[in-house]
Structures are given as C-alpha cells and as structure tokens.
Structure 1
Amino acid sequence: MNVLTIDTATPAVSAGVVRRAEDGTVDPLAERVTVDARAHAEQLTPNVLGAVSDAGITVADLDAVVVGCGPGPFTGLRVGMASAAAFAHALGVPVHGVCSLDAIGIHTDGDVLVVTDARRREVYWAHYRDGVRVDGPSVNAPADVAAVLQSSVAAVAGSPEHAALFTLPRLDVVYPTPAGLVRAVADWDDPQPLVPLYLRRPDAKPSVAARK
C-alpha cells in the first residue's frame, strides 16, 4: 500500500510517501521537509503534493494516511491533523494517528531518550528501549527529565538544540521520519479517532469579557 505521512509536531513541516508491504516492511519513496516553526500552514500542502509527485504516483494511488499527533504546539498539531483528516476523507482512505516521538524513537536501539522543543524552557520527551516506548510522552524542564531517568538511558535523539542539554551521546535521528511514522502504527485494521497529544493547555486563553 502507498501511505501518505504528515507530521507538524516539530519545526519540521514533513510530508512523505512510504510503500508498505503486506509483511510490514516499509520502503520510503519520497519526503519533503521544510524546517520552519512558523510555516506549518503555508508549507504543508505544497510538501504533500511535492512528495506525492516525487514518489511517481498521484493522490489517487494513496491507500492510507498516517499523521503525527504530537506532543507538539497547539497550532502546528492542528494544521497537520486537520490536513491529514481532510486528505483521508477526500480520498476515502483510513487515517492513523501516532505519537510523533515514536517516529523518532522507533529507529533507535538500547535505552534512548527522545526530546523535542516544548518551548517555555521545557521539552517533550519519551524513553525508548530498543525502539519501544517505555515511559512518556511527557513535558518537563530538562533538569527534571534527567532526574527522573537518572542513569537509565545511554543516548539522546531528537531536537539537536534540546538534546544538547543532556550529557548523553547524541544520535542522528532528529525529526519524525515517514518510515518511522508508518512503523509506529499499532493496528492497520482498526484506525482510531485522531487525538492530539497537547500535554498542556494552549497559550491563548479567552478574555474575561468573552467568557461572560
């Protein structure tokens, strides 16, 4: 099957096409990425269409959509998840949501910490053992994450700027990949409703006047 992947949980506005075989093996066909935390809405659709074209197929050849559901900023997640749902609905194909951190951690071996930018001097994080999540996702200050994990992890992956806050060897996996998103789907036969992993309330709040 041909799978369209979308992730906007990080500054990387990512779209890809992956061919998934019946035995579960994945073959990434194309990927378009724009690293710009302010360009999710502007860049996602061009990246999707570009990735489909680069894969040598048309949107009519897509059999499923997989989208990263965070954790991530409110606006970025909303753009990616709404777009994924719209593409799937228009094409009449299922849409699967996965934890975006899983699409990074699934590529790792051993005990690995995956971190991405949560702003407010915090990180979104999860702990993986041989590619399987064993703790998280959560949001905390880097010092608190280090205290929780102590010496149980051997390396860190994800946002380079935030990975550098930990005294651990850094891995090359930085952003959710199309192959990682596809591999993170737990059940292809039973797509579940998309649920965003915000982990905290959005910064924008209604004014007192608006609530009355």
Structure 2
Amino acid sequence: MGYTLAIDTSAGTSVALTRSGAPIAEYNDSSNMKHAEGIGAAIADVLAQGGVKAKDVATVVVGRGPAPFTGLRVGIAAAMMFAEGAGAKLFGVVSLDAIALEALSDEAIAAQVAAGVPLLITADARRQEVYWGLYSGLSKSGAPICIEGPGVIKPAALAELMQQRGVQPIEVSATVFATRLSQVFDAQVIDGAASQDVSALYLREPDAVPSPGKKVSG
C-alpha cells in the first residue's frame, strides 16, 4: 500500500505522512496566519522526514473544514495541486471528525460516550461564533459518527440548542491533527464512506466581498 499525505488548514497548518494508518511524519503549526507561505515547506518537510518522494504518495486527504475562507482554501488548493502532480487519488474529510477521533482516543471520554453521552466538538469560527458537530461515538471500523452538524452558531445559541435536544454533551475544542484526519479516512474506506468531495465547508459568506463598483450617473 502506498503512502497517504494528509493536509488540514482549518485553523493552523497540519500535514502528515502515514502508511496503513501508522504515522510516519507530521508537521504542526498552530498559527492561523500565513498558511499560503508555509504549506509548501510543510509538505516538503514531512516528505523529507519520511524519506519519501512525491511519486510514492498514492492518496491525498484534505480537511474540508468547517473553517474561515482564507486559510481553508489554501490547504484544499495545495492538496489538489499535489494530488494532480503526484498522480495520487484525492479525498476530503470533515475536519471536526479528526478532532472527534482525537477526543475519543481518551478512554474516559470514550467510556462516557459509550454510555450514551453525546460528544460535542467545537472550533473557533471567529465573529464570536463556533463551528460544531455532535457525535455518538465510533463505527466498528473507528470512524466518528456525526449525528448532527457541522454548523456555525453563537455559543449561547448552541447551549440553548443542546438544551432543546435534551442532551448534556461532553464538549471538546481542540487542534486538528493531520494524522487523525488520515486515520478517519482509513476508517471511512472500510465503512465504504470515503468521499472524493473536497469542496470547502465555509458555512457562511467570506469576510471579503467584491466591491459593487462606482455608480455611473446618467
């Protein structure tokens, strides 16, 4: 089996090289700025750490967000270009799924979720909002099971929504690690749920919009 390159720029920049789900190399930068300047070097770094050439990568997995417009599109564009250049297959994974997998690797959290307590994954959406997804655990192959979301909402409104649902979830907000993104993909392959949809989950309009231009008087 060939190597998998996983890329996520939904918050910081995370790039990982894996094989059969096992991590080989990973690069993580928590900064949510200058994704475009760092993504090329990050990819080169993990390939060099693994002693792997681009042509050895069979699969590219990219985080689809949800995330703000600018950073997210950098990772998706980089994944598309790398996959095309390397002749690799390209797949997309919801970034919140990777956080859910990381959270459920904690035995205490996993035990509570197994007992019926849902897992609420949140991430900073700026504008005093959060991205969110509600999870009920893992499939038999280990893929996070999202039962509601992803969405974007004010924290107070999210708390009210959970109250309306009659649930008191375990809330986790954490970093997306590309290795986890790759592992989610591997589990989805077994489930027959892997997706080649790499469209960005912005969930709202970008902050920057084109100018309407000058009005021309008649």
2:131 pairs with 1:102: no
Q: Structure 1 stretch 48-57 or stretch 118-127: which is displaced more?
A: 48-57
2:64 pairs with 1:69: yes
TM-score, length-scaled by structure 2: 0.81
- Report the equivalent of 1:207: 211
Partner of residue 195 from structure 1, selected from 190, 195, 199: 199
- Report the equivalent of 1:132: 145
- Greater helix content: 2
Distance 1:83 1:211, change over 3 A: farther
- Extract unaligned runs of 5+ from structure 1: 21-25, 159-173
Letter in 2 for 1:183: Q
- Extract unaligned runs of 5+ from structure 2: 105-109, 138-143
Letter in 2 for 1:28: P
In the alignment, the residues of structure 2 paired with residue 34 and residue 84 of structure 1 have an alpha-carbon distance, to the nearest angstrom, of: 17
- Report the equivalent of 1:147: 160
TM-score, length-scaled by structure 1: 0.83
| Identical positions, percent | 36
Matches within 5 A, 1:174-185: 174-185=174-185
Instruction: Please report the RMSD computed on the Cα atoms of aligned residues, expressed in angstroms.
Output: 2.0
In the alignment, the residues of structure 2 paired with residue 94 and residue 211 of structure 1 have an alpha-carbon distance, to the nearest angstrom, of: 47
Distance 1:114 1:3, change over 3 A: same
TM-superposition CA deviations, 1:122-144 (whole Å, max 9, x none): 00011111131111000000111
Q: 8 Å contact 1:18–1:178 — kept in the other structure? A: no
- Report the equivalent of 2:129: 122
In the alignment, the residues of structure 2 paired with residue 181 and residue 117 of structure 1 have an alpha-carbon distance, to the nearest angstrom, of: 18
2:85 pairs with 1:90: yes
- Report the equivalent of 2:44: 49
